[in-house]
Chains A and B, each alone.
Chain A
Amino acid sequence: MAEPQRDALIDTAFGYASLGERIAATVLSGSRTGWLLLLAGFTTLSLLFLYTIMLVFTVGVGVLGLNIPVAWGFPIVNVVWWLGIGHAGTLISAILVQLRQDWRNSVNRFAEAMTIFAAGIAGLFPVLHLGRPWFAYWLVPYPATMEIWPQWRSPLVWDFFAIATYITVSVLFWYTGLVPDLATMRDRAKPRWAKRIYGVLCLGWRGAHSHWRRFRTAYLVMAALATPLVVSVHSVIALDFATTIVPGYHSEMFPPYFVAGAIFSGFAMVLTITIPLRRWLRLEAVITTRHLDIMAKTMLAAGLVVVYAYLVEHFVIWYVGDEYERYMALNRILGPYACAWWGTMAINAGVTQLLWSKRIRTSPAILFCVAIVLNVGMWLERYLIVLSSPHRGYLPAAWDTESGTMIDWLMLLGSLGLFFALLTLLLRWIPAVSIYEVKELLHERREEG
């Protein structure tokens, strides 16, 4: 159908039924070869991921690019990056729902799915980075025969709790929102077995008004809880670094700075997914260029915060005048990791500025490219922070450099594969867009006339 006028959030020409059909169709209508090919491709990459994991588990983290002094490498970079991506989803679904940003209704569903997968993958990396991953469960406080407990002063323990909580809450939140739509699927699906499955999954939702009320409060309260959670998670991640005394890690401003970065990269990923998705599922009418515009703006805002953080970081280093910090900052710009620094700056501080132009914000193709570049930029930034800081610490005699091995890169690639594979699968089984919420949106727009 024709592209609706520019700044509409939804095409009011729809009826509730046709709208529901259109969205449900993305799932229910017969198999598509394109989808299968996509899935095949991504699955292959996921197998690559599996292979690298096997390698790390059987041979040891030695297969990755690590040494003393650079004992943290790609896995940590990837944790931070993936979690950041996850955060945008929560932001859209949780924070915006409280701000009554109804434009979110069209995108929150798969944004949340994205969050879950991203957070899940992010949750894998800290384990993969362990020397003895099979003892990861020692971070859980349980009555062990050793009669010892986790060491609560360690930010890594906070990490464990933050990420675990984050994943659980994200899943809950996502599932809660899904229940009414699963009911819709139950009633739309043709084959009885499909009806049955959706029937069970939707727990017998009937859409009674009293249910809707409890549902709304639960949903809002969860959102209210998820909001500080999402902030806390990346703050805690930031604390892994900030609580150390490593020049380049030890920075009081890391928590807010990391959160901003998270939203920034997160929205980049949302766009990276949305743009091809709406085209492919022919949802232009539901996810309009208006949505892209808004998200691009949000991204620009977050990006500016990040740039501000860069400025403040360097100012503080200069202002405090600690010789080690100063050397670190200079070393990033001129030292072995200079490429990463200049790259980060060029992208996060430079490319972001393109988003000032409405033409770019509203032309899917260009926006898509920008989004991808920004993803890379944010990965680079984390790479810079994690690797360049310890490589020239306090004692010059202990200085050494480290960069990723082939396995490191394969692992990163593989994790991307897994991420998209899961997303692709999901799109076939549950509606890509929250049906009841867009109907609500449609209703409101009708009210407005």
Chain B
Amino acid sequence: MTDTNEGKRRGELWRGTTTPRAPLAPPTDRRTFLKLAGWSALAGGAAACTPRSPEELVPYVDMPEHVVPGRPTYYATTLLREGYGYGAIVETREGRPIKIDGNPGHPATLGASDAVLQAELMQLYDPDRSRTPLHDGTPRSLDALAADLATLRERLLKSGGRGLRVLTPPVTSPTQAARLGALLDSFPEARWHQWHALARDAAITGSRIAFGRAVDITTRMDRADVIVQLDGDFLAEGPAHLAHAADFSSRRRPGPGMLRLWVMESTPGLAGAAADHTLVVPQPRVVRLALALAAELGLAVPAAEGLSPRERRWVAACARDLAEHRGRALVLAGDPQPPAVHALAHWLNAALDAPGRTLEWRDPALARPEPVIESLTALAEDMHRGEVDALVVIDGDPAYDAPADLRFAEGLERVSTVIHHGLYVDATARRADWHVPLAHDLESWGDARAFDGSVSLQQPLVEPLHASLPRLALPEMLMGRWPRSDREVVAAHWEARLGGESAEPWKAALRAGIVAGTASSSVDVVPRPSAIRDALAETPGNADAPAPVLQFRADPHVSDGRYASNAWLQELPRPLTKLTWDNALLISPAMAERMGIGDEEVLRVSTGQATIEAPAWVLPGMPDEALTIWLGHGRAIRSGGEGDSLADGVGVDAYPLRTTGALFARTGIDVEPVGRRYALAATQHHHRMEGREPVRRMTLAEVLDGRDHAPQGDEHPSLYPEPVPAPFDVDAPQWGMAVDLNACTGCMACTAACQAENNIPVVGKRQVRAGREMHWIRVDRYYEGDADAPRTLFQPVPCQHCENAPCEYVCPTGATQHDSEGLNVMVYNRCIGTRDCSQNCPYKVRRFNFVEYNYGAQEAELLSALRNPDVTVRSRGVMEKCTYCIQRISRARRQAKIEDRPIADGDVVTACQQACPTGAIVFGDVSDPESAVSRAKNHPLDYALLAELNTRPRTTYRARVRNPHPDLEENDSSGGDKAHG
């Protein structure tokens, strides 16, 4: 059918036949192209003299009735992360998922998304995914697996399941929990363990200390006037971070009663960057500050000694602010902090009348809330004791990410049968007797709870690409209930509640992507001061920590390592470091200076037991006497496809230094330079604004006395008539964008979404290092103030779509010019690659295909399946840039024309706008005074970037507004711009 062909011609290989497993063989014309890709240059002239090779049309044999070829279809489903559910709406073309976005009806996403959610698409098509079951490393069929499991089952039945252990990530999925329960019933002696390297143990233990039971917190930041965060990063971590971002930003609009955020952090994070006051200290010291804060608020806690004057003033002001906003205040404890701090946070919140107002205590969303570290330790000990007969690892790689002191890999040797069920042939898989490919969430049925307990169903968007089994399969097999489709399993579980698959409630739940009324109920509990006090007393952090501290954090994109081979996420610049393709030892400028080292110099970090060598990266805002390294790198994956895994040789594995006693920070390390350098690929090399004020800043006070943003540069007079002449006058919508720098948290979701929507290639570390990254919307990060406690400013920069575009008049072929809707269009097929447009672009938002970035990948066939058929795939030698998602504009325009109506405000939503969790990006018709974007642009704080150049950008920004506490303002506004360049 023409539509699959359309697709194919833009680089997709998906054939529209009824079996999605059909071989992904490229069509002849494309293969010949592949061969000639290089030579087309030389043959170029000649090639133009021979007719285009004929193309194939491959129609369906039998067209599924809900498919309209050439038109997108959208489905609601659920993606799992750390066991929690994220509701998503997935766009498919001819049965091919090509875009993931948040589900507006789902509490965890609210229609927005983050980089990882966007990149789950790449995860689905990841060429490195394992493609077939392996028995002792040799490919076997699923039937062979089933047979083998049957015999295992026989063996286990005799012993009542003695020695059978199942290891999963924390589980919220009601169905999975129920089925595992059933498994335990049929094998009374079996055990179910949970492990996740980033599981939120401290929160669980903390609530147990505070209340004697596990309790979840859900916040209502939209009701808060003051928020204090004790370490961590509530805008980036935890299952509720997207909801947090939405609520938080809703109260950050400049004006009376603007929310004030206080952040103590041990590693620069998004919350710290967004905060009005950030206090940077090594992780163990946070306990002490928390105690001081509690004391200031009159809680009877152990005294905190040795605070510096600055800390003292900071805590005092913070406490005063909290006290003044009783009932409208909120205290958050970060995951890296010990349980006692979480318990203390509960106590503080209670003391501030937060419960029922700015937060709710609820039943946990987890089916079995337990500190997973204990669960895993138990398992490991049993393994070493040889008590484990069969271990089933579902969606995990403990051999890689278990704390080093558990010696998990060794333990595996002593287990007679290890079955690994995962996406990759990873460390655990290679030690397992059986490796079973795990179906991706987009390939399976299931369900999961969001942070607030709401259940959403998971439905497959595509038949499995490889010979994989869904998450729910193995327990069923062990229970002898196979073959049975995961769909049946889920449907059966919900039979009672939603009726059968034919029943309306079930269909409704599928359509809406959420099961109504499943949020967990709030619980009425009261903190127990004594218990909390005891816990605090024995928390080491209160003693002086021997410097330096090594802090473990999840990679902002690669997480605990499960996205290590995800090209999009590896190349997506990390929000603060702007690093790609590697992790590094983050070190404060002061410490680096003391050690006499700089960026890229390799440091050796050793604890008694283990040693790693990793390059240093000097990061303003790192606490002194502390190093931070990201987990999730240096993961050994054997690619399911040909060639090496993309994760090979990327970054350094920090897990060997991580122990049960020190999951997030460990002291007693020695650090020394090795005297070697290791090249890192960052996308931003200069960190000061050089007095050019690309980001305009002011304080709430200034806004309130009616001062608008710093005056714009005077517009230069022009020889030519202004405003731009005739063709603009046709009655067409005039597209424009407004970006609210105050709402932007710098999370990079926009960049990821743009990459997914616009077929933006991944270029690899070497090209990034050469300064050739391709992202259409970059997020600039500037520092101001003291390098050790700088203020961090983010600024998303897409094409500004200047009305007087400097790029246009220098193009010799007219490949970039204006259309009547005010778009600065880029016509790839007319571009000959002089790059003069980029030279003349003051914003440097243009990207160039210096070599062939699209057909280079070995697995081009598989990867090309995720391409958006509405967007041209750019060949080598062609300039490209943000188009304001012109394909979406075009679709809206054509739809409106078909329905014979004008394009309504909101008909066009750009990918970045759709993804943004804080609604920082507004897009629409600026010629319509009533449109959202016009209203945004009318705001007094709205300004144009480099307006003095008279480029008349269609993209404008709203100045960043801080809301500092009066007591701290004077010494916090340190003028000297000492952030390193």
Q: Are chains A and B touching in the complex at the 8 Å CB cutoff?
A: yes
Residues of A within 8 A of B (CB): 54, 57-63, 66-72, 129-136, 138-139, 146, 148-151, 153-157, 160, 240, 243-246, 249, 323-324, 327, 390, 392-402
CA distance A309 to B566 in the complex (A): 53
Which of A62, A157, A393 contacts B851 (CB under 8 A)? A62
Which of A135, A136, A244, A324 contacts B839 (CB under 8 A)? A244
Task: Give the Cβ gap from B947 to chain A, nearest Cβ, in Å.
Answer: 12
Q: Is the CB of A71 within 8 A of B848?
A: yes
Q: Is the CB of A154 within 8 A of B806?
A: no
Q: With A60-B852, A151-B812 given, is the CB distance from A132 to B781 under 8 Å? A: no
Q: List 24 A-B contacts (CB under 8 A).
A: A59-B38, A61-B877, A62-B772, A68-B771, A68-B847, A68-B848, A129-B834, A130-B833, A131-B835, A132-B875, A132-B878, A133-B41, A134-B40, A148-B814, A148-B830, A151-B809, A155-B810, A156-B810, A156-B811, A244-B810, A244-B840, A394-B844, A396-B689, A397-B781
Q: Is the CB of B771 within 8 A of A397?
A: no
Known: A327-B690, A394-B692. 14 other contacts (CB 8 A): A54-B42, A58-B38, A60-B849, A67-B850, A68-B847, A68-B848, A130-B832, A131-B876, A132-B41, A132-B878, A138-B830, A139-B812, A151-B809, A402-B771
B residues in contact with A132, CB < 8 Å: 41, 44, 831-833, 875-878
Task: Give the Cβ gap from A17 to chain B, nearest Cβ, in Å.
Answer: 51
CA distance A155 to B810 in the complex (A): 6
Q: With A245-B806, A396-B688, A396-B692 given, is the CB distance from A58 to B42 under 8 Å? A: yes
Q: Is the CB of A154 within 8 A of B810?
A: yes
| B795 close to chain A: CB less than 8 A | yes
Which of A131, A134, A156, A160 contacts B849 (CB under 8 A)? A131
Q: With A67-B772, A68-B772 given, is the CB distance from A156 to B834 under 8 Å? A: yes
CA distance A394 to B806 in the complex (A): 13
Q: Is the CB of B809 within 8 A of A154?
A: yes
Task: Give the Cβ gap from A448 to chain B, nearest Cβ, in Å.
Answer: 53
CA distance A245 to B780 in the complex (A): 22
Task: Give the Cβ gap from A86 to chain B, nearest Cβ, in Å.
Answer: 22
**Nearest opposing residue in chain B for A396, CB measure:** B686
Q: With A68-B848, A132-B832, A134-B44 given, is the CB distance from A60 to B877 under 8 Å? A: yes
Q: Is the CB of B42 within 8 A of A57?
A: yes
Task: Give the Cβ gap from B713 to chain A, nearest Cβ, in Å.
Answer: 10
Q: With A131-B835, A390-B839 given, is the CB distance from A399 to B685 under 8 Å? A: yes
CA distance A149 to B817 in the complex (A): 13
Q: Is the CB of A58 within 8 A of B41?
A: yes
Proximity bits, B683-701, A CB within 8 Å = 1, else 0: 0111111111010000000
Task: Give the Cβ gap from A385 to chain B, nearest Cβ, in Å.
Answer: 12
Which interface class (under 10, 10 to 19, 20 to 34, 35 or more) fits B? 35 or more
A residues in contact with B850, CB < 8 Å: 60-62, 66-67, 131
CA distance A390 to B44 in the complex (A): 31
A residues in contact with B877, CB < 8 Å: 60-61, 130-133
Tell me the B799-834 residues at the A interface (CB within 8 Å). 806, 809-814, 817, 830-834
A residues in contact with B685, CB < 8 Å: 399-401
A residues in contact with B165, CB < 8 Å: none
Q: Is the CB of B842 within 8 A of A393?
A: yes
| B770 close to chain A: CB less than 8 A | yes
B residues in contact with A60, CB < 8 Å: 41, 849-852, 876-877
A residues in contact with B558, CB < 8 Å: none
A residues in contact with B688, CB < 8 Å: 396
| B843 close to chain A: CB less than 8 A | yes
**Nearest opposing residue in chain A for B795, CB measure:** A397
**Nearest opposing residue in chain B for A397, CB measure:** B780
| B208 close to chain A: CB less than 8 A | no
Q: With A323-B692, A327-B690, A396-B692 given, is the CB distance from A61 to B833 under 8 Å? A: yes
Q: Is the CB of A67 within 8 A of B836?
A: no
Tell me the B448-503 residues at the A interface (CB within 8 Å). none
Q: Is the CB of A154 within 8 A of B836?
A: yes
**Nearest opposing residue in chain A for B688, CB measure:** A396
| B365 close to chain A: CB less than 8 A | no
User: Which 3 pairs across A and B sit closest by C-beta, in order of nearness?
Assistant: A131-B833, A134-B44, A131-B877
CA distance A131 to B844 in the complex (A): 18
| B172 close to chain A: CB less than 8 A | no
CA distance A69 to B835 in the complex (A): 10
A residues in contact with B689, CB < 8 Å: 396
Which of A70, A146, A324, A394 contacts B843 (CB under 8 A)? A394
**Nearest opposing residue in chain B for A73, CB measure:** B835
| B797 close to chain A: CB less than 8 A | yes
Q: Is the CB of A131 within 8 A of B838?
A: no
Q: Is the CB of B778 within 8 A of A131?
A: no
Task: Give the Cβ gap from B573 to chain A, nearest Cβ, in Å.
Answer: 11
| B135 close to chain A: CB less than 8 A | no
Q: With A393-B844, A397-B795, A400-B771 given, is the CB distance from A151 to B813 under 8 Å? A: yes
CA distance A150 to B814 in the complex (A): 7
| B378 close to chain A: CB less than 8 A | no
Q: Is the CB of B812 within 8 A of A150?
A: yes
CA distance A189 to B44 in the complex (A): 44
CA distance A160 to B832 in the complex (A): 14
Proximity bits, B842-871, A CB within 8 Å = 1, else 0: 111011111110000000000000000000
Tell me the B400-428 residues at the A interface (CB within 8 Å). none
Q: Is the CB of A245 within 8 A of B814?
A: no
Task: Give the Cβ gap from B770 to chain A, nearest Cβ, in Å.
Answer: 5
A residues in contact with B875, CB < 8 Å: 132
CA distance A350 to B195 in the complex (A): 72
Tell me the B871-889 residues at the A interface (CB within 8 Å). 875-879
CA distance A376 to B876 in the complex (A): 33
Q: With A59-B851, A396-B688 given, is the CB distance from A135 to B842 under 8 Å? A: no
| B717 close to chain A: CB less than 8 A | no
**Nearest opposing residue in chain B for A250, CB measure:** B840
**Nearest opposing residue in chain A for B684, CB measure:** A397
Which of A57, A155, A399 contacts B686 (CB under 8 A)? A399
B residues in contact with A69, CB < 8 Å: 771, 838-839, 844
Task: Give the Cβ gap from A395 to chain B, nearest Cβ, in Å.
Answer: 6
Q: Is the CB of B809 within 8 A of A153?
A: yes
Q: Is the CB of B835 within 8 A of A245?
A: no
| B316 close to chain A: CB less than 8 A | no
CA distance A396 to B782 in the complex (A): 9
A residues in contact with B687, CB < 8 Å: 396
CA distance A57 to B45 in the complex (A): 12
Q: With A57-B42, A59-B851, A66-B850 given, is the CB distance from A243 to B797 under 8 Å? A: no
CA distance A286 to B6 in the complex (A): 71
Q: Is the CB of B833 within 8 A of A58?
A: no
CA distance A150 to B813 in the complex (A): 5
Q: Is the CB of A131 within 8 A of B878?
A: yes
| B182 close to chain A: CB less than 8 A | no
| B303 close to chain A: CB less than 8 A | no
B39, B797, B849, B877: residue with the most chain A Cβ atoms closer than 10 Å: B877
Task: Give the Cβ gap from B1 to chain A, nearest Cβ, in Å.
Answer: 28
| B949 close to chain A: CB less than 8 A | yes
A60, A135, A400: residue with the most chain B Cβ atoms closer than 10 Å: A60
CA distance A392 to B690 in the complex (A): 11
B residues in contact with A160, CB < 8 Å: 812
CA distance A246 to B44 in the complex (A): 33
**Nearest opposing residue in chain A for B816, CB measure:** A151
Q: Is the CB of B45 within 8 A of A134?
A: yes
**Nearest opposing residue in chain A for B851, CB measure:** A62
Proximity bits, B32-65, A CB within 8 Å = 1, else 0: 0000001111101101100000000000000000
| B946 close to chain A: CB less than 8 A | yes
**Nearest opposing residue in chain B for A67, CB measure:** B771
Q: Is the CB of B832 within 8 A of A131?
A: yes
Proximity bits, B761-786, A CB within 8 Å = 1, else 0: 00000010011100000101110000
A residues in contact with B809, CB < 8 Å: 151, 153-154, 243
CA distance A278 to B908 in the complex (A): 73
**Nearest opposing residue in chain B for A59, CB measure:** B851
Task: Give the Cβ gap from A396 to chain B, nearest Cβ, in Å.
Answer: 5
CA distance A154 to B840 in the complex (A): 12
